[in-house]
Amino acid sequence: MKKKIFFWSPMLSHIGTYQAVLAMAEALTEYNDYKVYLINVFGEFDDYKNPSIEKINLLKAKYYIPNKGLLSKFLYYLLTFLLIPVMFYVVRKYRPDVIISNLVGYVPNLIKIFVKIKVVNSIQGLPRFNYFRKIIWKLFYSNSNHIFTMTDLTKKMIISNFELNLRSIIKVDNPIISRKIINLSNEEIENELKPIFQNDVFCSIGRLTRQKNYYELINGFNSFIKKTKKNINLLIIGEGELKEDILKYLKKKNITNCYLIGFKANPFKYLKKSKLFISSSLWEDPGHTLIEAGYLNVPVLSSCCPNGPKEIIKNNYNGFCYKLNDSNDLSKRLEEIYNLKDKDIYKIKLNFKKFVIRNYTKYQFAKTFNKII
């Protein structure tokens, strides 16, 4: 009989974890022959279709709950807490062998107290350990069979904060790289956006939130343009609570070559046609978009932020880094990169693909998971 795997990852908006969950689920069905179930908590997986993966629907609340702001967070945690009895019933009914939790990991760990089951908490992003979260971790996360982290630095940070079995916490890369990205990148850009690519384009992808640090990106880019007089456009792909503020800032600074085009289900067709991908984040763990950029042969410039970019990018070897919170250094690095010879850029792109990309495939994830479980 096939082993049954549950994925518990409640989401109200389209974040990077969404694609990571689907990639993990697909990897375990394609290479390990598990029976995989997606717990469709709020309706986050309504549009996903795969005959090999079954969905278990709990609520259809995604369309009625705001996906940003304090009210959104309050309702998110309230509803996931209230769903614990429902989830307990589902676990008793289906009897999964393993629950993989990517978000709100205390729920399956709580259920594990009453039901014989393995729980894997895959930590998506850099955890922030305030007083309350430390209590939650000590009470519930320590009950995990395994904890997956995206970086070694996060692994060390968790170990230093909690008394955990060193063999139970493991760095396991998300399987985000697949041929599908190449196919999507070959799609045609909409006619109304084609004029942006008549000049060279620097691209950034991510939610318009404080974490992504877009004001620093805009200031560094604008300083670079003023100094070099280059005809280059900055393209920012994503939605978020800071959108209106950023648009006002662009207008105030009279910056006309920065384009906010909102969320795009397929960002890869714009990314592939860009000359450079820039991540200005305050933190990333690991930073999926910079890995996807490298896969599409787009050179990467990232802030030296914790924890992913610090581990992934080796400056001037497989990508480029600039000092975090220093828009002048960002401007300087942009000028240096833009003036590099094609052969030097080619070597850097090749090094990224050789030493980074291979770790993020579905095959590698399935192989690692099977060995651990």
Which residues fall within 8 angstroms of residue 50, CB to CB, at 6 or more apart? 25, 26, 29
* DSSP state for residue 5 in the 8-state scheme: E
Beta bridge pairs of residue 279: 302
Do the beta carbons of residue 245 and residue 267 sit within 8 Å? no
Question: Which of 108, 174, 113, 124 lies closest to 11, judged by CA?
Answer: 124
Phi, psi of 242 (to 5 degrees): -95, 5
* Tokens read off for 77: 């945690």
> How many other CB atoms sit within 10 Å of the CB of residue 189?
14
pLDDT computed for residue 165 by the predictor: 66
Give, for all 373 residues of the chain, the pLDDT tens digit.
789 999 999 988 777 788 899 999 999 999 988 999 999 999 999 999 999 999 999 987 777 777 777 888 888 889 999 999 999 999 999 999 999 999 999 999 999 999 999 999 999 888 888 888 888 888 888 889 999 999 999 998 888 888 766 678 999 999 999 999 999 999 999 999 999 999 999 999 999 999 999 999 999 999 999 999 999 999 999 999 999 999 999 999 999 999 999 999 999 999 999 999 999 999 998 999 999 999 999 999 999 998 899 999 999 999 999 999 999 999 999 999 999 999 999 999 999 999 999 899 999 999 999 999 8
Q: What pTM did the predictor assign?
A: 0.87
> How many other CB atoms sit within 10 Å of the CB of residue 235?
23
**Architecture of the domain made up of 4-172:** 3-Layer(aba) Sandwich (3.40)
The greatest distance separating any two alpha carbons of the chain, rounded to the nearest whole angstrom, comes to: 65
Distance, in Å, from the CA atom of 41 to the CA atom of 57, rounded to the nearest integer, reads 6
Query: Would strands 320-322 and 4-8 be described as parallel, antiparallel, or unpaired?
Result: unpaired
CB-count exposure of residue 241 (10 Å: 0-12, 13-18, 19+): middle
Distance, in Å, from the CA atom of 96 to the CA atom of 104, rounded to the nearest integer, reads 18
- Domain limits, CATH 3.40.50.2000, in the chain: 4-172, 179-359
**Superfamily name and number for 179-359:** Glycogen Phosphorylase B; (3.40.50.2000)
3-state secondary structure labels for all residues of 89-104 = HHHHHHCCCEEEECCC
Which residues fall within 8 angstroms of residue 333, CB to CB, at 6 or more apart? 301, 320, 321, 322
- In a 3-state reduction of DSSP, which class is residue 169? strand
Q: Which amino acid is at 99?
A: I
